[in-house]
């Protein structure tokens, strides 16, 4: 029987590579002082409804036996907002979460219905430093995998100023953002048809402006003649230069909309080349208040671990080294314990089969070396070590084996 559509199993080298990606970001999050939070895989439906714009249709909903409406979590941000709204923390508070989320999406490469997200958030601070902290932290996680991402940044307040300058009514701002968010899917012509079909004017000029992407200097040049406050971008550029632990590439992109309804300030998307987006986020100053009544600002960024794995797993290097110990009419457990206590990944045939079968098992399970332990070896305190790739053998003491394999 196959796994359900949009899900998959991980084992062997793939599982190790997946774990290496998770570990790199977990290390980055904890290095930057974020504390772990864990939330349930499902929430009450009413918590999630009305937060995701047109993507709300992707939420998995069901009822429990008592008829209560429940839903699998769509992301890690809304559940965190519930936590911080109902609990007292020293502010500002910094949290990270790594866990599964669920979306009834159309499965394809890099897009699953069940996938793992890694998320970091700062709540209780209006400081522009928060955005730089999040981007620098995520950049450090990628750095651990030798991946150089591009952080594309836009700002909802900047976009609102542009919409106002072009003569649009405030009530149309969300409608425009949702249309722009479909730019990659339906193209500029599709966005133009959608907006003009809703009676909006000046759409050609709008589309020309939102194609602006690049440095702060580029933005200032393209927006010349409009009264636009670009101070959010200026602050972010300065703060990242001061905070980054490794080179971090940031581009300002006026086409970036991030269609989620709860964003209020900076929004981000993370590309790893050829417009392959693996994550994003932004500021959500009203989300906690709307959920719980507590007036707490927030800003967060997340990546899709599963999507990142699908796109770059062939470039992820992991240590697949494994040793098998084979006892020849002897009990090899003392040798096994010595190797394991020195951090060497060690396996052996639990079925205690004959030498030929044990060697075959070691080969099939991917052991790089086999250590043969017989009565003569125990007496001489030297053991036969066979390199499974070359077939070469040598006799070594346990200390020599440990030095060779560590």
Contact 39, 76 (CB under 8 A): yes
**Separation CA 109–CA 171 (nearest Å):** 37
pLDDT in the model for residue 239 = 87
pLDDT in the model for residue 274 = 65
Domains in the chain with CATH codes: 12-315 (3.30.930.10), 323-405 (3.40.50.800)
- Measure CA of the first residue to CA of the last residue in the chain; give whole Å: 40
pTM: 0.84
pLDDT in the model for residue 199 = 86
pLDDT in the model for residue 50 = 86
Q: Which residues of the chain have pLDDT under 70?
A: 259-261, 274-275
| 243-293 tens-digit pLDDT | 777 778 899 999 888 766 678 889 999 999 766 789 999 998 888 888 888
Would you tell me the crossing angle of helices 12-31 and 129-143 to the nearest 10 degrees? 150
**Separation CA 102–CA 7 (nearest Å):** 10
Contact 121, 137 (CB under 8 A): no
């Amino acid at each position: 029987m196959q796994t359900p559509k949009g899900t998959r199993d991980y084992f062997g080298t793939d599982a190790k590579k997946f774990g290496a990606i998770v570990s790199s970001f977990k290390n980055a999050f904890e290095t930057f002082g974020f504390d772990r939070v864990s939330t349930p895989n499902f929430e009450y439906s009413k918590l999630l409804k009305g937060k995701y714009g047109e993507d709300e249709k992707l939420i998995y909903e069901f009822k429990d036996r008592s008829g209560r409406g429940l839903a699998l979590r769509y992301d890690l941000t809304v559940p965190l907002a519930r936590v911080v709204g109902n609990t007292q923390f020293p502010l500002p508070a910094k949290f990270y979460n790594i866990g599964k989320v669920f979306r009834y999406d159309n499965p394809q490469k890099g897009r699953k219905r069940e996938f793992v997200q890694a998320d970091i958030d700062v709540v209780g601070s209006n400081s522009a430093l928060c955005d730089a902290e999040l981007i620098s932290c995520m950049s450090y996680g990628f750095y651990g995998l030798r991946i150089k991402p591009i952080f594309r940044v836009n700002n909802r307040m900047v976009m609102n100023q542009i919409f106002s300058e072009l003569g649009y009514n405030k009530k149309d701002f969300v409608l425009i953002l949702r249309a722009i968010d479909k730019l990659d899917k339906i193209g500029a012509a599709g966005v133009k048809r959608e907006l003009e079909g809703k009676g909006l004017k000046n759409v050609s000029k709008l589309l020309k402006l939102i194609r602006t992407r690049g440095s702060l200097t580029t933005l200032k040049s393209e927006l010349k003649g409009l009264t636009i406050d670009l101070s959010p971008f200026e602050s972010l550029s300065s703060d990242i230069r001061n905070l980054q632990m490794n080179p971090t590439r940031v581009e300002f992109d006026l086409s970036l909309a991030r269609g989620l309804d709860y964003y209020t300030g900076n929004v981000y998307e993370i590309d790893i080349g050829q417009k392959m987006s693996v994550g994003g986020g932004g500021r959500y100053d009203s989300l906690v208040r709307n959920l719980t009544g507590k007036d707490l600002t927030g800003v967060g960024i997340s990546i899709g671990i599963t999507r990142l794995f699908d796109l770059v797993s062939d470039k992820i290097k992991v240590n697949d080294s494994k040793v098998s110990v084979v006892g020849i009419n002897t009990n090899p457990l003392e040798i096994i314990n010595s190797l394991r206590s020195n951090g060497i990944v060690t396996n052996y045939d639990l079925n205690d089969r004959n030498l030929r079968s044990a060697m075959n098992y070691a080969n099939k399970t991917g052991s790089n070396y086999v250590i043969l332990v017989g009565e003569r070896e125990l007496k001489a305190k030297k053991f036969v070590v066979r390199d499974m790739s070359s077939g070469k053998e040598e006799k070594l003491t346990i200390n020599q084996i440990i030095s060779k394999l560590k």
